[in-house]
Chain A
Amino acid sequence: EIVLTQSPATLSLSPGERATLSCRASQSVGSFLAWYQQKPGQAPRVLIYDASNRATGIPARFSGSGSGTDFTLTVSSLEPEDFAVYYCQQRFNWPLTFGGGTQVEV
Chain B
Amino acid sequence: EVQLVESGGGLVQPGGSLRLSCAASGFTFSPFWMHWVRQGPGKGLVWVSHINGDGSSIGYSDPVKGRFTISRDNAKNTVYLQMNSLRAEDTAVYYCGRAGSGGAFDIWGQGTMVTVSS
Cβ of B25 < 8 Å from any Cβ of A? Answer: no
Q: Is the Cβ of B104 less than 8 Å from the Cβ of A49?
A: yes
Interface CB pairs A-B, < 8 A, 6: A32-B103, A49-B102, A55-B106, A91-B103, A95-B62, A97-B47
Q: Which of B50, B101, B109 counts the most chain A CB atoms within 10 A?
A: B101
Assuming A43-B109, A43-B110, is B103 touching A49 (CB within 8 A)? Answer: yes
Within 8 A of A (CB), among B35-91: 35, 44-47, 50, 59, 61-62
Q: B47: shortest Cβ distance to chain A, in Å?
A: 4
**Chain B residue nearest in CB terms to A85:** B44
20 additional contacts (CB under 8 A) given A44-B108, A49-B103, A55-B106: A32-B102, A32-B103, A34-B102, A34-B103, A34-B105, A38-B45, A43-B111, A49-B101, A49-B104, A49-B106, A50-B102, A53-B101, A56-B106, A87-B44, A89-B104, A94-B59, A97-B47, A98-B44, A99-B44, A101-B45
Q: Are A36 and B105 in contact (CB under 8 A)?
A: yes
Complex interface: chain B residues within 8 A of A106 (CB): none
Contact A96/B108 with A49-B102, A53-B101 known, Cβ cut-off 8 Å: no
A80 to chain B, nearest CB (A): 23
Residues of A within 8 A of B108 (CB): 43-45
B46 and A55 within 8 A (CB): no
Which residues of A does B touch, CB under 8 Å? 32, 34, 36, 38, 43-46, 49-50, 53, 55-56, 87, 89, 91, 94-101
Q: State A36–B111 Cα separation when bound (angstroms).
A: 16
Cross-interface CB contact of B106 among A46, A94, A97, A100, cutoff 8 Å = A46
Counting chain B CB atoms within 10 Å of each CB, the highest count among A32, A34, A46, A100 belongs to A46
- Chain A residues, Cβ within 8 Å of B50: 96
- Nearest CB of A to B80, in Å: 19
B29 in the interface (beta carbon within 8 A): no
In the bound complex, residues from chain A placing their C-beta under 8 Å from that of B100 are 46
Which chain A residue lies CB-closest to B6? A43
What is the bound-complex CA distance between A46 and B107, given in angstroms?
Answer: 8
